[in-house]
Structure 1
Amino acid sequence: MREEQPALTLREVLANVHGSAITMLVPGRDAAVRGLSFWDGAPISPGRIVLAPGVIGEAERCAALRTASRQGAVGLVLDPPAQDRVRDVASECGLLLAERVPSLAWDELAAVLRERIALPSSRSDRAPGESLFALADAIAALLGAAVTIEDIGSRVLAFSSEGGELDAVRMSTILSRRVPDDFISFFRTNGALRRIMAGTGPFVTETSLGETRPRLVIPLRVGVETLGSVWVMRDSLPDDELSAALKTLTHAAALTLLRWRMQEQGAREHHAASVKALLRGDPPSGRASLAGMALPALPWRAVALRNGTGPAADVREDEETLGDEVALWTALLRRNGWAEPVIAIAEGAAIAVLGAGSHAGGWDWLRAIVSRTLPADGVTVAAGRAVAEPEGLPTSVSDAVHVLRAGHTGIVSYDDVWPALAVGHAMTALLPWVPAPPIELSTEPTVQERDLLRTLNAWLDAEGDIPAAARALRIHPNTVRLRLTKLRARTALDLTTPDSRLVTHLWARAELARLETPTSS
């Protein structure tokens, strides 16, 4: 049976359309969005965003808000401007109130919102696809010149197949799918990039780099947001007739970029939700869904990642900080060859799922990257145990978080520090219930008594090997023997039995930790 996809919340829907498709006036309550409806007097299904073209009057708009609220809608979108009383009623009802941006027709807005509301079940393509290439060819045919379409990061998304003479920068741009750095720097200096972001309309920019020809630049803008630009090998602005046709084509290109960005965002959200479910031991669609998550080969291990200074506990529980941590590590892992890192927030930490080996996504690979590229201080890579089945992953997550919160830094594996972790947990859990052994010591031991305790602990660590205990303490073996003799004079405890050695060893460690931990007033 096909499993129903989880609905996006209103806040998630608005994250990518506010400013570009709608202008939010009243945020409303964050609720699950189940779909889109047009206001036509018919009953509204719960969880719908309602589009209300033609609803103009203040009284009519207030009545529409109250009706939509009673029927379980989550928001209402109107033509601008919205009256103050309408905003007040939206706040009273707890509904989203938004205005359509004038540059989008109602059918275009509906298409954009429907795409955003539909959570994808798998990743979308990385590029906008054939539609942008077709638009680039159409613009080239209209203006009789070569065309490239770029995003706001100067990445080339599409280019025309025709367009006459080429220059060196166009050839380099197409081959690398990115504008050369020296040209980006030049266009930043001459103000071209600033004019693109301002979205003031088409303009011609000259270049002084080599024999590069001038460019006609058309910002791609939806609402108040710039999404990219069109670059044409042309040294003049088009006339009025060409401008009208060009505006239609560039508007279509801007809508294509907006839809692609929403698809990318939806795919990222779905991927993050799937990883979180996997870390909980509950993949959303069962084991069959794992194949689409770009997971490394089993066995897996969870790895807690932290890049910062100070105790690990200082940055836990902070969702914004953890989100930045995930973004930082995702970028680092991608730059080093892992196309889709499996990383999410779990148990208050940034957790990645890695496989074995030295290939991208493997534990040995990550250790090599961290050792080579990150500073030794303040970075923690804490790995849980390796698990052979997906069901064991939550245990590995718990291991990794325990290692992280124990205060270790650098590259640390649960396998390496398990004994210390186990003893620490045992002392924390058991010692409040274990009475002190019958050894005559002061309530606050003197310096000499503390030396006796350290010697007892070292002798038990060394399993009764006096020379080994002496080496650990950096004293002569005869000094160890002398101190043990003094201890025997203070107790009738028989340390030849396993039980007495075990509990005395735990007590000695806890007592030394108490005495050597600075106290604050």
Structure 2
Amino acid sequence: MHEVNEAAEDGAADLRSLLAFENTGLLRTLCAPADPGARVRTVTVGLDDLDTGPAGSGSLLLAVGAAPDAATVREAARRGARAVVLSHVPGEPGDPDDQVPPALLDAARETGVAVLARADGTGWGEIAALLRSALTYARAAAREPARDPFPDLGTASSLTALAARVAASVQGAVTIEDTGLRVLAHSPTRPGADPLRQSVVLQGRVPAWRVAELRRSGLLRRLWTSSEVLHRPASDQDPERLVVAVRDGRELLGSIWAAADSDAMAPDAARHLRHAAALAAPLLVRERLRESGETRQREAALRGLLHGLGDRRTHAWALGLPGDAPYAVAVAERERSGPDDDRSFDLLALEASAHPAGAVTLRDGDRMAMLLKGESRTASGAGAVHAAVRGLRETVASLPDPVTVRVGIGPTVPIERVDESYDRACLAVRALRVREVRAAAAGTPRPDRCAESTALGATVEVLRVLDAVRPVWDSGHSPVHDMIRADRAAGGELVRTLAAYFDSAGDVPEAARRLSLHPNSLRYRLRRVRERYGVDLDEPDTALLIALAVRVAAGQRGAAPC
């Protein structure tokens, strides 16, 4: 049999973990396996080289020369394959048809085989090399090392375990960081830890002011250019520190920092750090590969769920989420005028992930989406979602005044309808902004900045209608269209006047107060509407059209759709 990689009897790797090493976009998961824990033992090229029945079980088949259709999937399943990679199929990004053929998905679901697609223009050799490396790496990660070259540090199968062992050897506190000074692992923090270490561990990275200080002192440059353990003496505020760069050959991977806790570090602490740097190199490489692949895979899956693209249950599988749980989407939007260093999204993500059922987050500039999961197979499965919502409300309410973050929550739905919950959450964020603008204009107390879409009533529905009306309005021609277009070109004063007039339900004194005008000045502007454009505000249909036009033209004061 022509195989890309030989496998031992117990050398299987979890398929989801295997795909996490793929961070280049060469493969796309079309349908998840029936078994969430499906394992792969070997990669096989071509149907003819795949043993029939149990002998082929555990194979990941590269369907070279086979048609990318349902028949190939069924034949691969008959021969025992766990997963099959097809050549380019409809539904790839950029295709006019954005739907994978239903017959192909039906065959995958019936047989339980995972189906992946090879990106157009990608060679089979490249795919084979990628999967061979990933399978080898996954096996190596699962095996215990045959020999530890540094027995005084013990064995360490993860960066966290290594940090703890190094801390015990150097008799200090240890952090392992990447080249961006982001904390990947740290030893347990003692109650008496210095404030800088507490800040670094809590924030997950070295603060910007500290990075600037390290640059000014030259320590950062010496760290990245030296293979020696560097010493930073204790000062009035900081304890003694040792640091060493972690390298793989000439490639810089990160660094290991050790700080004295309450007592001095061990006399041979530098030797332990040098040994730890050698042990950390393969762990950092593995972390980089896995993290980048998992990040890309999870982001693609979550985007697919939020926007209703592809097979929803396959996206849930890629995220490690059950397909039978209830879900709700929360969308947080941050005001661009807020402080550059505010950590409101970090707090919200932490709050969302803290509740027992968990959450998945996706950040995109000043917007963050949080997929909140309920409990599977329970009558009160939505209870966990509501608990998370309560926590989000409390977090938003606790944010400092200079930070403006609004959070809208969509309804609780099954996995197939997550995109509906996302759309409603986006509408809710816009509705919160509209209500806050109106409250400011009316001089009333500011409303809450976190709410479920169902609690925002007509405002959400009006926004949904306006989104549908906008293309129809843009293509129309009437005196009202001429008036709105001319005013927008001139700066939009009339649109703002009419918006205040309609928001005040035709109450001229109240509208004038909102505009800081004398009521007679407002009446004069309204008369100009009739005289200049021939538009009668008292005619019902005209009044309705103007009200819609003003809302569309104003764009709800910048509250744009998601």
Q: Which bin holds the TM-score, normalised by the shorter protein?
A: 0.3 to 0.5
TM-score normalised according to structure 1 size: 0.47
Larger Rg: 1
TM-score normalised according to structure 2 size: 0.44
